[in-house]
Homo-oligomer: A and B are copies of this chain.
Amino acid sequence: MVTVALDAMGGDYSPEEIIKGAFDALKKDKDINVILVGKKEVLEGKITEEYKDRCSAVYATEVITNEEAPVAAIRAKKDSSIVVGMNLVKEGKADGFVSAGSTGAVLVGGQLIVGRIKGILRPALAPLIPTEKGVSLLIDCGANVDARAEHLVQFARIGSLYMEKVIGIKNPRVGIVNIGAEEEKGNALVKETMPLLKECDDINFIGSVESREIPKGGADIIVCEAFVGNVILKLYEGLGSTLLGKIKDALMKNVFTKIGAMMIKSSLKETLKSFDASEYGGAPLLGLNGLVVKAHGNSKANEICNSILQCKSFKEEALSDIIREKMTKN
Protein backbone atom coordinates (compact mmCIF):
# COMPACT_ATOMS: atom_id res chain seq x y z
CA MET A 1 0.00 0.00 0.00
CA VAL A 2 1.05 3.56 -0.75
CA THR A 3 -0.24 6.46 1.31
CA VAL A 4 -0.44 9.90 -0.25
CA ALA A 5 -1.14 13.09 1.71
CA LEU A 6 -3.09 15.52 -0.45
CA ASP A 7 -3.38 19.28 0.05
CA ALA A 8 -7.14 19.76 -0.23
CA MET A 9 -6.79 23.54 0.07
CA GLY A 10 -4.33 24.29 -2.75
CA GLY A 11 -5.08 25.24 -6.35
CA ASP A 12 -7.65 27.23 -8.27
CA TYR A 13 -10.25 24.46 -8.15
CA SER A 14 -9.89 23.36 -4.55
CA PRO A 15 -11.42 21.68 -2.74
CA GLU A 16 -13.91 20.10 -5.20
CA GLU A 17 -11.57 19.06 -8.01
CA ILE A 18 -8.84 18.04 -5.57
CA ILE A 19 -11.15 15.72 -3.65
CA LYS A 20 -12.57 14.38 -6.91
CA GLY A 21 -9.01 13.65 -8.07
CA ALA A 22 -8.38 11.72 -4.86
CA PHE A 23 -11.49 9.59 -5.35
CA ASP A 24 -10.55 8.97 -9.01
CA ALA A 25 -7.13 7.70 -7.93
CA LEU A 26 -8.64 5.52 -5.19
CA LYS A 27 -11.00 4.06 -7.77
CA LYS A 28 -8.26 3.39 -10.29
CA ASP A 29 -5.84 1.77 -7.88
CA LYS A 30 -6.82 -0.34 -4.90
CA ASP A 31 -3.33 -0.16 -3.40
CA ILE A 32 -3.54 3.54 -2.68
CA ASN A 33 -4.56 5.36 0.50
CA VAL A 34 -5.20 9.09 0.53
CA ILE A 35 -5.04 11.47 3.49
CA LEU A 36 -6.87 14.70 2.71
CA VAL A 37 -5.28 17.65 4.50
CA GLY A 38 -7.32 20.79 5.00
CA LYS A 39 -9.77 22.78 7.06
CA LYS A 40 -12.30 20.84 9.08
CA GLU A 41 -15.25 22.81 7.73
CA VAL A 42 -14.14 22.06 4.17
CA LEU A 43 -13.47 18.35 4.59
CA GLU A 44 -16.09 17.23 7.07
CA GLY A 45 -18.64 14.92 5.49
CA LYS A 46 -16.84 14.93 2.13
CA ILE A 47 -15.39 11.43 2.25
CA THR A 48 -17.96 9.09 0.76
CA GLU A 49 -18.84 5.69 2.17
CA GLU A 50 -17.22 4.01 -0.83
CA TYR A 51 -13.70 5.30 -0.05
CA LYS A 52 -13.97 5.57 3.74
CA ASP A 53 -11.59 2.64 4.27
CA ARG A 54 -8.77 4.12 2.20
CA CYS A 55 -9.38 7.83 2.61
CA SER A 56 -9.05 9.84 5.77
CA ALA A 57 -8.80 13.49 6.76
CA VAL A 58 -6.18 15.33 8.79
CA TYR A 59 -7.26 18.81 9.70
CA ALA A 60 -5.20 21.94 9.30
CA THR A 61 -6.55 25.30 10.39
CA GLU A 62 -4.47 27.48 8.06
CA VAL A 63 -3.85 27.94 4.32
CA ILE A 64 -0.77 29.42 2.64
CA THR A 65 -1.74 31.59 -0.33
CA ASN A 66 0.23 32.27 -3.53
CA GLU A 67 0.74 35.85 -2.44
CA GLU A 68 2.64 35.03 0.74
CA ALA A 69 6.44 35.02 0.87
CA PRO A 70 7.24 31.28 0.98
CA VAL A 71 9.90 31.09 3.69
CA ALA A 72 8.00 33.31 6.09
CA ALA A 73 4.73 31.49 5.42
CA ILE A 74 6.21 28.01 6.00
CA ARG A 75 7.74 29.22 9.29
CA ALA A 76 4.69 31.11 10.54
CA LYS A 77 1.84 28.86 9.48
CA LYS A 78 2.69 25.64 11.31
CA ASP A 79 -0.89 24.47 11.01
CA SER A 80 -1.27 25.11 7.27
CA SER A 81 -2.26 22.30 4.92
CA ILE A 82 1.19 22.35 3.28
CA VAL A 83 3.14 22.16 6.54
CA VAL A 84 0.82 19.56 8.07
CA GLY A 85 0.89 17.44 4.90
CA MET A 86 4.68 17.57 4.66
CA ASN A 87 5.02 16.63 8.31
CA LEU A 88 3.01 13.49 7.55
CA VAL A 89 5.72 12.56 5.01
CA LYS A 90 8.52 13.46 7.40
CA GLU A 91 6.98 11.33 10.18
CA GLY A 92 6.52 8.41 7.82
CA LYS A 93 2.73 8.54 8.02
CA ALA A 94 2.55 9.24 4.28
CA ASP A 95 4.84 8.20 1.45
CA GLY A 96 4.25 11.31 -0.59
CA PHE A 97 2.61 14.72 -0.56
CA VAL A 98 0.75 16.30 -3.47
CA SER A 99 -0.19 19.98 -3.62
CA ALA A 100 -1.56 22.36 -6.24
CA GLY A 101 -0.91 25.26 -3.87
CA SER A 102 1.86 27.89 -3.78
CA THR A 103 4.90 26.63 -5.72
CA GLY A 104 7.25 28.65 -3.57
CA ALA A 105 5.80 27.26 -0.33
CA VAL A 106 5.96 23.69 -1.66
CA LEU A 107 9.61 24.15 -2.67
CA VAL A 108 10.60 25.75 0.62
CA GLY A 109 8.55 23.32 2.70
CA GLY A 110 10.09 20.40 0.84
CA GLN A 111 13.57 21.51 1.82
CA LEU A 112 12.82 22.68 5.36
CA ILE A 113 10.37 19.98 6.44
CA VAL A 114 10.86 16.85 4.34
CA GLY A 115 14.55 17.64 3.97
CA ARG A 116 17.20 17.01 1.35
CA ILE A 117 18.85 13.65 0.88
CA LYS A 118 22.39 13.83 2.25
CA GLY A 119 24.74 14.88 -0.53
CA ILE A 120 22.04 16.57 -2.60
CA LEU A 121 23.04 20.23 -3.03
CA ARG A 122 19.65 21.37 -4.30
CA PRO A 123 16.40 19.57 -4.79
CA ALA A 124 15.04 20.12 -8.31
CA LEU A 125 11.50 20.66 -9.53
CA ALA A 126 11.24 18.40 -12.53
CA PRO A 127 8.01 18.35 -14.55
CA LEU A 128 7.38 15.90 -17.35
CA ILE A 129 6.66 17.66 -20.61
CA PRO A 130 4.94 16.11 -23.63
CA THR A 131 6.94 15.56 -26.82
CA GLU A 132 6.42 13.90 -30.18
CA LYS A 133 8.05 10.76 -28.83
CA GLY A 134 6.25 10.68 -25.48
CA VAL A 135 7.55 12.60 -22.54
CA SER A 136 10.75 14.29 -21.32
CA LEU A 137 11.85 15.43 -17.89
CA LEU A 138 12.67 19.13 -17.64
CA ILE A 139 15.06 19.57 -14.70
CA ASP A 140 15.24 22.17 -13.03
CA CYS A 141 12.20 24.48 -13.07
CA GLY A 142 12.40 25.36 -9.40
CA ALA A 143 12.81 28.58 -7.52
CA ASN A 144 16.56 28.38 -6.98
CA VAL A 145 17.96 30.22 -9.97
CA ASP A 146 21.61 30.95 -10.85
CA ALA A 147 22.68 27.33 -10.38
CA ARG A 148 26.29 26.17 -10.49
CA ALA A 149 27.74 23.47 -12.72
CA GLU A 150 27.80 20.91 -9.89
CA HIS A 151 24.05 21.41 -9.40
CA LEU A 152 23.36 20.67 -13.06
CA VAL A 153 25.44 17.51 -12.86
CA GLN A 154 23.31 16.29 -9.93
CA PHE A 155 20.14 17.17 -11.85
CA ALA A 156 21.36 15.00 -14.72
CA ARG A 157 21.99 12.10 -12.33
CA ILE A 158 18.76 12.19 -10.33
CA GLY A 159 16.75 12.96 -13.46
CA SER A 160 18.21 9.86 -15.11
CA LEU A 161 17.20 7.73 -12.12
CA TYR A 162 13.67 9.13 -12.18
CA MET A 163 13.18 8.52 -15.90
CA GLU A 164 14.60 5.02 -15.71
CA LYS A 165 12.94 3.82 -12.50
CA VAL A 166 9.65 5.71 -12.34
CA ILE A 167 8.85 6.39 -16.00
CA GLY A 168 10.49 3.24 -17.30
CA ILE A 169 12.78 4.60 -20.03
CA LYS A 170 15.89 2.44 -20.40
CA ASN A 171 19.22 4.26 -20.57
CA PRO A 172 17.53 7.66 -20.91
CA ARG A 173 19.33 10.30 -23.01
CA VAL A 174 20.52 13.37 -21.09
CA GLY A 175 20.89 16.66 -22.96
CA ILE A 176 21.85 20.12 -21.71
CA VAL A 177 19.87 23.09 -23.02
CA ASN A 178 22.13 25.12 -25.27
CA ILE A 179 21.96 27.67 -28.08
CA GLY A 180 23.75 25.56 -30.67
CA ALA A 181 25.08 22.09 -31.15
CA GLU A 182 28.71 23.16 -31.64
CA GLU A 183 31.24 22.57 -28.91
CA GLU A 184 32.15 26.25 -28.45
CA LYS A 185 28.54 27.48 -28.09
CA GLY A 186 26.88 28.30 -24.81
CA ASN A 187 27.00 30.59 -21.81
CA ALA A 188 29.58 30.32 -19.04
CA LEU A 189 27.47 27.85 -17.04
CA VAL A 190 26.91 25.49 -19.97
CA LYS A 191 30.57 25.59 -20.97
CA GLU A 192 31.59 24.74 -17.43
CA THR A 193 29.01 21.96 -17.06
CA MET A 194 29.57 20.27 -20.42
CA PRO A 195 32.92 18.57 -19.64
CA LEU A 196 31.65 17.51 -16.20
CA LEU A 197 28.65 15.77 -17.77
CA LYS A 198 30.89 14.10 -20.32
CA GLU A 199 32.91 12.59 -17.49
CA CYS A 200 29.86 11.01 -15.81
CA ASP A 201 29.90 7.34 -16.66
CA ASP A 202 26.59 6.69 -14.92
CA ILE A 203 24.46 8.75 -17.34
CA ASN A 204 23.83 8.63 -21.06
CA PHE A 205 24.91 12.16 -21.95
CA ILE A 206 24.21 13.13 -25.56
CA GLY A 207 25.46 16.74 -25.45
CA SER A 208 23.67 19.98 -26.30
CA VAL A 209 19.96 20.16 -27.00
CA GLU A 210 18.64 23.25 -28.75
CA SER A 211 15.22 24.25 -27.51
CA ARG A 212 13.64 23.60 -30.91
CA GLU A 213 14.52 19.91 -30.42
CA ILE A 214 12.71 19.66 -27.07
CA PRO A 215 9.18 19.20 -28.51
CA LYS A 216 10.61 16.62 -30.95
CA GLY A 217 11.83 14.55 -28.02
CA GLY A 218 15.49 15.49 -28.56
CA ALA A 219 16.46 14.18 -25.11
CA ASP A 220 14.71 12.27 -22.32
CA ILE A 221 16.20 14.44 -19.61
CA ILE A 222 16.51 18.14 -20.40
CA VAL A 223 19.04 19.64 -17.99
CA CYS A 224 19.00 23.37 -17.40
CA GLU A 225 19.26 26.03 -14.77
CA ALA A 226 15.90 26.89 -13.17
CA PHE A 227 15.43 30.30 -14.81
CA VAL A 228 15.77 28.75 -18.26
CA GLY A 229 13.66 25.74 -17.23
CA ASN A 230 10.90 27.99 -16.00
CA VAL A 231 10.96 29.95 -19.26
CA ILE A 232 10.74 26.72 -21.27
CA LEU A 233 7.93 25.26 -19.16
CA LYS A 234 5.75 28.35 -19.21
CA LEU A 235 6.34 29.03 -22.89
CA TYR A 236 5.35 25.43 -23.61
CA GLU A 237 2.05 26.01 -21.83
CA GLY A 238 1.44 29.49 -23.17
CA LEU A 239 2.25 28.79 -26.79
CA GLY A 240 0.26 25.56 -26.77
CA SER A 241 -2.82 27.34 -25.48
CA THR A 242 -2.42 30.23 -27.93
CA LEU A 243 -2.08 27.93 -30.94
CA LEU A 244 -5.06 25.81 -29.88
CA GLY A 245 -7.08 29.00 -29.39
CA LYS A 246 -6.18 30.08 -32.93
CA ILE A 247 -7.26 26.71 -34.28
CA LYS A 248 -10.57 26.92 -32.42
CA ASP A 249 -11.19 30.35 -33.94
CA ALA A 250 -10.52 28.94 -37.40
CA LEU A 251 -12.96 26.06 -36.79
CA MET A 252 -15.73 28.37 -35.59
CA LYS A 253 -15.41 30.79 -38.52
CA ASN A 254 -18.53 29.84 -40.44
CA VAL A 255 -21.14 27.11 -40.89
CA PHE A 256 -18.92 25.26 -43.31
CA THR A 257 -15.92 25.15 -40.96
CA LYS A 258 -18.19 24.19 -38.06
CA ILE A 259 -19.36 21.09 -39.93
CA GLY A 260 -15.73 20.29 -40.77
CA ALA A 261 -14.84 20.76 -37.11
CA MET A 262 -17.42 18.16 -36.06
CA MET A 263 -15.86 15.67 -38.43
CA ILE A 264 -12.33 16.07 -37.09
CA LYS A 265 -13.18 16.73 -33.44
CA SER A 266 -12.62 13.32 -31.91
CA SER A 267 -9.47 12.61 -33.90
CA LEU A 268 -8.05 16.02 -32.99
CA LYS A 269 -8.93 15.60 -29.34
CA GLU A 270 -7.24 12.21 -29.18
CA THR A 271 -4.08 13.49 -30.88
CA LEU A 272 -3.82 16.54 -28.68
CA LYS A 273 -4.48 14.57 -25.50
CA SER A 274 -0.95 13.22 -25.74
CA PHE A 275 0.23 16.83 -25.63
CA ASP A 276 -1.74 17.70 -22.53
CA ALA A 277 0.59 18.20 -19.57
CA SER A 278 -2.11 17.28 -17.04
CA GLU A 279 -2.02 13.70 -18.34
CA TYR A 280 1.38 13.29 -16.74
CA GLY A 281 0.56 14.50 -13.26
CA GLY A 282 2.46 17.17 -11.39
CA ALA A 283 6.16 17.89 -11.10
CA PRO A 284 8.12 15.91 -8.52
CA LEU A 285 10.58 17.75 -6.30
CA LEU A 286 13.54 15.41 -6.66
CA GLY A 287 16.28 14.92 -4.09
CA LEU A 288 14.17 14.95 -0.92
CA ASN A 289 13.79 12.32 1.82
CA GLY A 290 10.32 11.53 0.56
CA LEU A 291 8.18 12.42 -2.41
CA VAL A 292 6.69 15.87 -2.87
CA VAL A 293 4.72 16.56 -6.04
CA LYS A 294 3.73 20.03 -7.18
CA ALA A 295 0.62 19.98 -9.37
CA HIS A 296 -0.34 22.97 -11.52
CA GLY A 297 -2.29 25.71 -9.79
CA ASN A 298 -5.09 25.18 -12.30
CA SER A 299 -5.16 21.40 -11.82
CA LYS A 300 -8.47 19.65 -12.20
CA ALA A 301 -9.29 16.16 -10.94
CA ASN A 302 -7.41 14.47 -13.79
CA GLU A 303 -4.02 15.96 -12.93
CA ILE A 304 -4.50 15.41 -9.20
CA CYS A 305 -5.40 11.78 -9.86
CA ASN A 306 -2.34 11.29 -12.07
CA SER A 307 -0.10 12.98 -9.49
CA ILE A 308 -1.31 10.53 -6.84
CA LEU A 309 -0.74 7.55 -9.13
CA GLN A 310 2.78 8.86 -9.85
CA CYS A 311 3.57 8.62 -6.11
CA LYS A 312 2.96 4.90 -6.31
CA SER A 313 5.69 4.21 -8.88
CA PHE A 314 8.00 6.46 -6.92
CA LYS A 315 7.40 4.50 -3.72
CA GLU A 316 7.52 1.10 -5.40
CA GLU A 317 10.82 1.89 -7.00
CA ALA A 318 12.11 3.31 -3.71
CA LEU A 319 13.56 6.23 -5.62
CA SER A 320 14.64 8.20 -2.55
CA ASP A 321 16.66 5.20 -1.38
CA ILE A 322 18.26 4.77 -4.79
CA ILE A 323 19.22 8.45 -4.95
CA ARG A 324 20.57 8.28 -1.39
CA GLU A 325 22.70 5.27 -2.27
CA LYS A 326 23.97 6.97 -5.41
CA MET A 327 24.89 10.12 -3.50
CA THR A 328 26.90 8.10 -0.98
CA LYS A 329 28.88 6.51 -3.79
CA ASN A 330 29.68 9.69 -5.71
Interface of A toward B, CB cutoff 8 Å: 69, 131-132, 143, 145-146, 177, 179, 184, 186-188, 190, 210-216, 226-228, 230-232, 234-247, 249-251, 253-254, 256-257, 259-264, 267-268, 270-272, 274-275
Q: Given the interface contacts A260-B262, A261-B264, A267-B250, does A231 sit within 8 Å of B234 by beta carbon?
A: no
Nearest chain B CB to A266 CB, angstrom units: 9
Complex Cα–Cα for A94 and B235 (A): 38
- Please give, as numbers and ranges, the residues of chain B lying within 8 Å of A257 by CB-CB distance: 263-264, 267
In the assembled complex, 28 residue pairs joining A and B whose CB atoms fall closer than 8 Å, in A order, are A132-B246, A145-B186, A145-B188, A210-B238, A211-B231, A211-B235, A212-B234, A212-B237, A213-B238, A214-B238, A214-B239, A215-B243, A227-B228, A228-B231, A231-B231, A235-B236, A236-B239, A246-B275, A250-B272, A251-B264, A251-B267, A257-B263, A259-B260, A259-B263, A260-B261, A260-B262, A260-B263, A261-B264
- Please give, as numbers and ranges, the residues of chain B lying within 8 Å of A143 by CB-CB distance: 179
Task: Check B238 against A240 for contact (C-beta < 8 Å).
Answer: no
Task: Check A212 against B235 for contact (C-beta < 8 Å).
Answer: yes
| Leading 6 A-B pairs by shortest Cβ distance | A260-B263, A212-B238, A215-B242, A250-B271, A212-B234, A260-B264
- Please give, as numbers and ranges, the residues of chain B lying within 8 Å of A179 by CB-CB distance: 143, 145, 226-227, 230-231, 234
**Secondary structure at chain A's binding surface: helix, strand, loop or mixed?**
helix
Find the residue from A232, A259, A271 having the highest chain B CB count within 10 A. Answer: A271
Considering the complex, give the chain B residue whose CB is closest to the CB of A243: B243
- Please give, as numbers and ranges, the residues of chain B lying within 8 Å of A186 by CB-CB distance: 145, 227
Considering the complex, give the chain B residue whose CB is closest to the CB of A264: B260
Complex Cα–Cα for A143 and B274 (A): 35
Complex Cα–Cα for A244 and B212 (A): 14
Which of B234, B259, B263, B270 contacts A211, CB < 8 Å?
B234
Nearest chain B CB to A54 CB, angstrom units: 36
- Please give, as numbers and ranges, the residues of chain B lying within 8 Å of A263 by CB-CB distance: 256-257, 259-260, 263
- Please give, as numbers and ranges, the residues of chain B lying within 8 Å of A212 by CB-CB distance: 234-235, 237-238
- Please give, as numbers and ranges, the residues of chain B lying within 8 Å of A244 by CB-CB distance: 243
Nearest chain B CB to A75 CB, angstrom units: 16
Considering the complex, give the chain B residue whose CB is closest to the CB of A177: B231
- Please give, as numbers and ranges, the residues of chain B lying within 8 Å of A237 by CB-CB distance: 212
Considering the complex, give the chain B residue whose CB is closest to the CB of A186: B145
Which of B184, B232, B245 contacts A132, CB < 8 Å?
B245
Complex Cα–Cα for A211 and B141 (A): 13
Q: Given the interface contacts A239-B215, A264-B257, does A247 sit within 8 Å of B247 by beta carbon?
A: yes
Complex Cα–Cα for A108 and B69 (A): 44
Task: Check B214 against A235 for contact (C-beta < 8 Å).
Answer: yes
Considering the complex, give the chain B residue whose CB is closest to the CB of A218: B238
Task: Check A275 against B243 for contact (C-beta < 8 Å).
Answer: yes
Further pairs besides A145-B186, A211-B238: 4, Cβ < 8 Å? A212-B234, A212-B235, A246-B272, A254-B267
